[in-house]
């Protein structure tokens, strides 16, 4: 691809060649290379004063110099047509943005456009092409929100409701088997960007009787199934990976209001918001535990540097812990003891060996590798206890 | 945490507005400059408005220093400016690393933590704009450039196409472009479109695909992957980081072109290099020439004897590694390159004596080199390692051939500066022999020839020649070249392992796994292999094909061009499906 630039720069050099370079001796030598061969006639150029600014873009033989008006037309029309043909992608991108003016603006433009262009079939070329490359069209209906609304009707109002009617009747989870090195425990670590460092850490430090995989979905959460639907993805995960244990770290992006399918908005931090969140967590936990046949370890959101965010995280942790209590096979793991300085946020923490390590990244939310190591310990301990694993052998030296 | 990056809706909207207003205001610099400055600050402040204050402060401090230096050449002012810039960089980028390292060290000997362990937010692009500011102040000190007007310098430092991840444009390349309005009738749109579309493909298709399918899984948990997977993942990372970073540079250059500005190029088929020295003339050129001019040469370059030269190489490369981030992996990455360059140099030294004939023998070789230089615009100034040979070679009396082409290449991008600058400066470089110096002063159009250029050119001739004793028949030449290319590529790949690994332990694990992991194919799918082959193979496409493609594109009418671009991008996005574009790697630096 650099040759593209090469050619690009090559044509550039044709005109700048004349900017200030004297006729070059040895031009015949130069033409023995293909780059030079691409620039015929350069040695016959007149030689302007060395101080002349490079203003001869329109010198004969030069490729691709147009007026600013035409360049702007090319860029605008290209982007404009592309936008018309890709309105679904624009809507998707808008839905994936954090709440704010940018998101509102993008959606305010993209959604009406989408409503116009779809009936006209303008999204079809892109769709056909995508199908050609083996991509399914993203399903726009969100299972998570629908299932959560059913949950609501079964639970009735009020938080901390009883086990809902949608739950499997099995009151206790299936007792776990004892994995061996030959037939290791299948563990899936999944969630949002929090799993980016946590997943590999668990994968790398788990004992030999565990075979762990990571499935990270950046920028996702339970609040915006319109952007990424965790419910349908959880089904896919069970089909594809058949995990015996699922470790979940999810919710770092969820400190924002929930828009219900009907259009009502539940502001972040409100009681209705928290209740809806609990219901959605419940739906997911039910899918992953699969009637108690699989274990789920939903880890708490780590303390956050931002007080506002930390407040949301505490609320979300409470809601998920509440939901986990209602689902057989699900466990809520509070990582705060491992990831905080006596409950308070801290960039630097002491590891079990007594060394100070930087546990958190600059954003005050995510974990560094060292932080992930601290977080992985209680998770592995829980796995080890439930599945009678040999004690985790850290393969990594500090 | 979100920021405006090139392939996003936000940036597209921002850019369309800026492009329209910019060309509209272009004939009135008094309006255009504040507008561009404001637009760049908006771009920068989108992530965190506080960082704009930092940028403004850096601009004011450096401009004040430059003006003060121009008025009275006081070394103390220069030192204050350098300390201020490095302090800024050090505080934001390295404080945590430093404090933690001290803490660890003292902890081991049983003392408490003396430094407060703070976490400092890293402003995006601080490494890039700080280096630009440093080069400006030092160039003013050296007399290579004059202090610009405040508004010009502010626009230069904040200009949004190069603000976040380079290329590191020099003041004397950019500020002269502000002297007169850009020509509204001469926008190289085709070139810009090709650069931007090509960059998007490299980033969205090649780099992200390789990262997702192979590189990230393997580097995250090497213990679970086979030797084959690890080996291919290392190759894949070499392709990924090249495609990722050069894509950003290409898009930045293309965006700047659409606004009427020219940037130096940043890459020139790096994996075609036949030595590490050559690699650094082809990889991140704007950084390597910065290191050459402001670290390596001030350290004494190649002028203080072979031992000292090797030490200088080592120091320069380690600092270059550290520039990428505060981590031991980067330090080791730099050290590997430094050691490699030093080893190459001493090897070349050893062969040097018997190959003197070779140096003067191959006029095609300097021209081949210069073709790279020409294509990359500023390349001749970039590859500081080239200068290694300078001390030994110019005396052999053959500078006449390469110098003009090299100097021509400089003229591509560099914009005229007072000629006297070049004359003042050139004599200060001791290794230049009279003919070379004369050539520079006489032919140098851009005032950038400080003698180094001539030395570079000469040096490159001999540098290429010296290491290749077998170059007497064409067959041997080709074989030898490929052999050297393959060896160089693997050294570079080995160093990339350090660069990519989150810590040294992982790098060690990768290397161990490379020999102990077995032969399972696993993640090495045909798609991944194809992406690697395409990424490497693109370097082999003759330049004239691209030129021909651009000429053909030029001849199309506007609607057909639009359809072409739209069709291309639509196909690209359909290929990758609905997925988020991963952030550019170099945003971290």
Last residue of a domain, one of A108, A132, A156: A132
CB-closest option in B186, B445, B578 to A20: B445
Judged by CB atoms closer than 8 Å, whether chains meet at A77 and B558 is answered as: yes
Best mutation target among A71, A96, A392 (most B Cβ atoms within 10 Å) is A71
Judged by CB atoms closer than 8 Å, whether chains meet at A219 and B580 is answered as: yes
Is B509 near chain A, with CB under 8 Å?
yes
Are residues A168 and A92 located together in one domain of the fold?
Answer: no
Judged by CB atoms closer than 8 Å, whether chains meet at A1 and B540 is answered as: no
A2 close to B511: Cβ distance less than 8 angstroms: no
Catalytic residues of B: 324
Is B220 near chain A, with CB under 8 Å?
yes
Closest CA to B136 of B90, B67, B83: B67
Helix, strand or coil, per DSSP, at residue B364: helix
Best mutation target among B3, B45, B411 (most A Cβ atoms within 10 Å) is B411
Distance from the A248 Cα atom to the nearest Cα atom in chain B, whole angstroms: 18
Are residues A302 and A362 located together in one domain of the fold?
Answer: yes
CATH number (domain holding residue A185) = 3.40.50.1110
Closest CA to B264 of B296, B236, B287, B293: B287
Q: Which residue segment(s) compose the domain that A87 sits in?
A: 68-132
Q: Read off φ and ψ for residue B485, nearest 5 degrees.
A: -60, -45
Helix, strand or coil, per DSSP, at residue A309: helix
Angle CA A82–B528–A87, to nearest 5: 15
Cβ within 8 Å of A, B 320-379: 363-364, 367-368, 370-371, 374-377
CB-closest option in B20, B370, B550 to A72: B20
What is the separation of C-alpha A375 from the centre of its chain, rounded to a whole number of angstroms? 20
Inside any domain, residue A152: yes
Angle CA B30–B256–B576, to nearest 5: 145
Inside any domain, residue A122: yes
- Nearest-angstrom CA–CA distance, A388 and A383: 8
Closest CA to B237 of B273, B271, B281, B196: B271
B543 close to B375: Cβ distance less than 8 angstroms: yes
Are residues A292 and A379 located together in one domain of the fold?
Answer: yes
- Nearest-angstrom CA–CA distance, B527 and B511: 25
Inside any domain, residue A240: yes
Inside any domain, residue A394: no
Are residues A160 and A103 located together in one domain of the fold?
Answer: no
- Nearest-angstrom CA–CA distance, B556 and B553: 5
Inside any domain, residue A59: no
Are residues A18 and A125 located together in one domain of the fold?
Answer: no
A304 Cβ partners below 8 Å, 6+ apart? Answer: A310, A313, A345, A364, A365
Last residue of a domain, one of A100, A132, A164: A132
- Nearest-angstrom CA–CA distance, B281 and B302: 17
Are residues A163 and A226 located together in one domain of the fold?
Answer: yes
Are residues A271 and A369 located together in one domain of the fold?
Answer: yes
CB-closest option in B183, B243, B554 to A1: B243
Residues facing A297 on adjacent strands: A247, A331
Measured between CA atoms, the residue of chain B closest to residue A54 is: B415
Are residues A168 and A280 located together in one domain of the fold?
Answer: yes
Closest CA to B390 of B336, B423, B348, B328: B348
Judged by CB atoms closer than 8 Å, whether chains meet at B246 and A2 is answered as: yes
Q: Is the dihedral angle over the CA atoms B418, B66, B289, A35 positive or is it negative?
A: negative
- Nearest-angstrom CA–CA distance, B403 and B357: 19
Helix A2-20 vs helix B402-413: angle between axes, to the nearest 10 degrees? Answer: 100
Q: How many CA atoms lie within 13 A of A111 on its CB side?
A: 10
Are residues A89 and A156 located together in one domain of the fold?
Answer: no
Are residues A151 and A275 located together in one domain of the fold?
Answer: yes
Are residues A233 and A262 located together in one domain of the fold?
Answer: yes
A380 Cβ partners below 8 Å, 6+ apart? Answer: A202, A205, A206, A207, A392
Spell out the per-residue pLDDT of chain B, length 589, in tens.
344 467 778 888 899 999 999 999 988 888 999 999 999 999 888 877 888 888 999 999 999 999 998 888 888 888 999 999 988 888 887 776 777 777 777 766 666 555 566 666 677 788 888 999 999 999 998 888 888 889 999 999 999 888 877 788 888 888 888 888 888 888 898 999 999 999 989 988 898 889 888 888 888 888 778 888 899 999 999 999 999 888 888 999 999 999 999 898 888 888 988 889 889 988 888 998 999 989 898 888 888 888 888 899 999 999 989 888 878 899 999 999 999 999 888 888 777 644 443 333 322 233 333 333 333 333 333 334 333 333 333 333 333 323 333 333 333 333 333 333 333 333 333 333 333 333 333 333 333 333 333 333 333 333 333 334 444 444 558 888 889 899 999 999 999 999 988 888 888 988 888 888 788 887 888 888 999 999 998 878 888 888 888 888 888 888 999 999 999 988 888 887 665 555 555 555 5
Measured between CA atoms, the residue of chain A closest to residue B558 is: A74
Is B545 near chain A, with CB under 8 Å?
yes
How do beta strands A258-259 and A185-191 pair? unpaired
CB-closest option in B185, B401, B502 to A369: B502
Judged by CB atoms closer than 8 Å, whether chains meet at A362 and B401 is answered as: no
Q: Is the dihedral angle over the CA atoms B208, B209, B212, B216 positive or is it negative?
A: negative
Is A5 near chain B, with CB under 8 Å?
yes
Inside any domain, residue A49: no
Distance from the A320 Cα atom to the nearest Cα atom in chain B, whole angstroms: 25
- Nearest-angstrom CA–CA distance, A317 and A278: 10
Residues facing B187 on adjacent strands: A66
Is B269 near chain A, with CB under 8 Å?
yes
Distance from the A315 Cα atom to the nearest Cα atom in chain B, whole angstroms: 22
**Total number of domains constituting chain A:** 3
Residue-wise pLDDT for A98-123, tens only, equals: 777 878 888 888 888 888 888 887 87
Judged by CB atoms closer than 8 Å, whether chains meet at A199 and B220 is answered as: yes
Is B549 near chain A, with CB under 8 Å?
yes
CB-closest option in A8, A34, A76 to B544: A34
CB-closest option in A6, A11, A65 to B186: A65
- Nearest-angstrom CA–CA distance, B375 and B474: 25
Are residues A243 and A333 located together in one domain of the fold?
Answer: yes
Inside any domain, residue A90: yes
Q: Is the dihedral angle over the CA atoms B55, B61, B65, B68 positive or is it negative?
A: positive
> Model-level pTM?
0.71
């Amino acid at each position: 691809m650099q040759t593209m630039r090469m050619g690009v720069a090559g044509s550039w050099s044709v005109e700048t060649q004349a900017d200030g370079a004297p006729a070059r001796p040895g031009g015949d030598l130069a033409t023995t290379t293909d780059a030079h061969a691409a620039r015929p006639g350069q040695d016959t150029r007149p030689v302007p004063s060395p101080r002349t600014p490079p203003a001869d873009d329109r010198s004969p033989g030069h490729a691709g110099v147009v007026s600013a008006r035409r360049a702007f037309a090319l860029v605008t029309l290209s982007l404009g047509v592309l936008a018309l043909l890709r309105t679904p992608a624009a809507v998707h991108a808008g839905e994936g943005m954090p709440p704010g003016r940018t998101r509102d603006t993008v959606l305010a433009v993209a959604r009406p456009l989408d409503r116009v262009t779809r009936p006209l079939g303008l999204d079809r070329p892109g769709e056909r092409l995508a199908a050609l490359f083996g991509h399914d069209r993203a399903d726009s209906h969100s299972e998570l929100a629908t299932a959560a609304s059913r949950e609501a009707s079964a639970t009735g109002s009020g938080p901390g409701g009883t086990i809902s009617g949608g739950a499997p009747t099995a009151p206790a989870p299936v007792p776990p088997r004892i994995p061996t090195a030959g037939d290791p425990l299948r563990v899936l670590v999944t969630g949002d960007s929090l799993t980016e460092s946590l997943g590999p850490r668990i994968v790398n430090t788990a004992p030999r009787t565990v075979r762990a995989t990571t499935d990270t979905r950046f920028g996702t959460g339970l609040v915006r199934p319109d952007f990424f639907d965790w419910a349908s993805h959880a089904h896919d995960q069970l089909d594809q990976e058949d995990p015996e244990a699922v470790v979940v770290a999810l919710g770092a992006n969820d400190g924002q209001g929930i828009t219900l399918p009907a259009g009502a908005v539940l502001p972040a931090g409100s009681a209705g918001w928290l209740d809806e969140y609990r219901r959605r967590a419940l739906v997911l936990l039910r899918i992953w535990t699969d009637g108690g046949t699989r274990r789920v370890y939903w880890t708490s959101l780590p303390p956050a540097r931002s007080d506002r965010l930390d407040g949301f995280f505490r609320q979300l942790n409470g809601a998920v812990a509440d939901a986990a209590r209602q689902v057989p096979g699900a466990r809520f793991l509070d990582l705060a003891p491992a990831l905080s300085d006596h409950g308070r946020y801290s960039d630097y923490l002491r590891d079990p060996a007594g060394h100070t390590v930087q546990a958190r990244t600059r954003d005050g939310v995510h974990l560094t590798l060292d932080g992930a190591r601290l977080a992985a310990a209680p998770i592995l301990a829980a796995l080890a206890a439930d599945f009678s694993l040999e004690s985790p052998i850290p393969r990594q030296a500090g | 945490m979100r920021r405006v990056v090139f392939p996003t809706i936000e940036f597209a909207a921002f850019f369309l507005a800026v492009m329209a207003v910019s060309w509209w205001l272009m004939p009135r610099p008094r309006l255009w400059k504040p507008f561009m400055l404001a637009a760049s600050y908006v771009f920068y402040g989108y992530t965190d408005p506080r960082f704009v204050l930092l940028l403004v402060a850096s601009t004011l401090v450096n401009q004040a220093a430059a003006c003060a230096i121009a008025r009275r050449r006081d070394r103390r002012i220069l030192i204050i400016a350098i300390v201020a810039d490095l302090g800024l960089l050090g505080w934001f980028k390295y404080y945590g690393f430093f404090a933690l390292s001290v803490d660890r060290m003292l902890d081991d000997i049983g003392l408490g933590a003396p430094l407060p362990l703070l976490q400092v937010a890293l402003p995006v692009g601080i490494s890039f704009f700080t280096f630009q500011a440093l080069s400006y102040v030092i160039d003013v000190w050296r007399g290579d450039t004059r202090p610009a007007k405040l508004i010009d310098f502010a626009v230069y430092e904040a200009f949004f196409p190069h603000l976040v991840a380079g290329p590191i444009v020099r003041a004397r390349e950019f500020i002269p472009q502000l002297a007169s309005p850009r020509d509204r009738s001469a926008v190289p749109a085709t070139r810009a479109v090709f650069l931007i579309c090509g960059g998007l493909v490299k980033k969205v298709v090649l780099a992200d695909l390789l990262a997702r399918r192979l590189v990230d899984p393997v580097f995250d948990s090497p213990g679970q992957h086979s030797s084959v997977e690890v080996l291919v993942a290392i190759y894949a990372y070499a392709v990924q980081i090249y495609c990722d970073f050069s894509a950003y540079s290409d898009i930045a250059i293309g965006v700047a072109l659409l606004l009427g500005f020219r940037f130096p190029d940043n890459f020139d088929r790096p994996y075609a290099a036949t030595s590490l020295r050559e690699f650094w003339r082809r990889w991140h050129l704007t950084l390597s020439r910065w290191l050459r001019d402001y670290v390596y040469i001030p350290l004494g370059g190649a002028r203080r004897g072979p031992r000292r030269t090797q030490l200088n190489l080592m120091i320069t490369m380690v600092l270059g590694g550290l520039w990428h981030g505060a981590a031991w992996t980067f330090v080791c990455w730099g050290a590997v390159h430094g050691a490699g360059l030093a080893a190459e140099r001493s090897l070349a030294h050893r062969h040097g004596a018997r190959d003197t004939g070779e140096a003067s023998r191959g006029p095609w070789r300097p021209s081949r080199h210069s073709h790279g230089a020409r294509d990359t615009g500023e390349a001749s100034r970039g590859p500081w390692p080239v200068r290694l040979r300078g001390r030994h070679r110019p005396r052999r009396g053959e500078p006449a051939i390469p110098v003009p082409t090299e100097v021509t290449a400089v003229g591509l991008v560099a914009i005229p500066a007072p000629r006297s600058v070049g004359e003042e400066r050139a004599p200060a470089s001791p290794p230049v022999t009279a003919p070379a110096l004369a050539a520079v002063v006489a032919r140098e159009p851009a005032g950038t020839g400080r003698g180094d250029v001539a030395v570079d050119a000469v040096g490159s001739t001999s540098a290429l020649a010296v290491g290749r004793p077998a170059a007497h028949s064409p067959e041997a030449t080709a074989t030898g070249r490929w052999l050297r290319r393959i060896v160089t590529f693997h050294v570079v790949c080995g160093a990339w392992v350090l660069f990519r690994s989150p810590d040294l332990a992982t790098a060690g694990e990768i290397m161990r796994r490379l020999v102990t992991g077995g032969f399972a194919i696993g993640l090495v799918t045909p798609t991944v292999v194809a992406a690697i082959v395409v990424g490497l193979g693109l370097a082999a496409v003759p330049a004239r094909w691209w030129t021909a493609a651009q000429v053909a594109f030029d001849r199309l009418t506007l609607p057909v061009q639009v359809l072409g671009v739209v069709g291309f991008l639509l196909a690209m996005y359909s290929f990758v499906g609905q997925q988020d574009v991963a952030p550019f790697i170099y945003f971290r630096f």
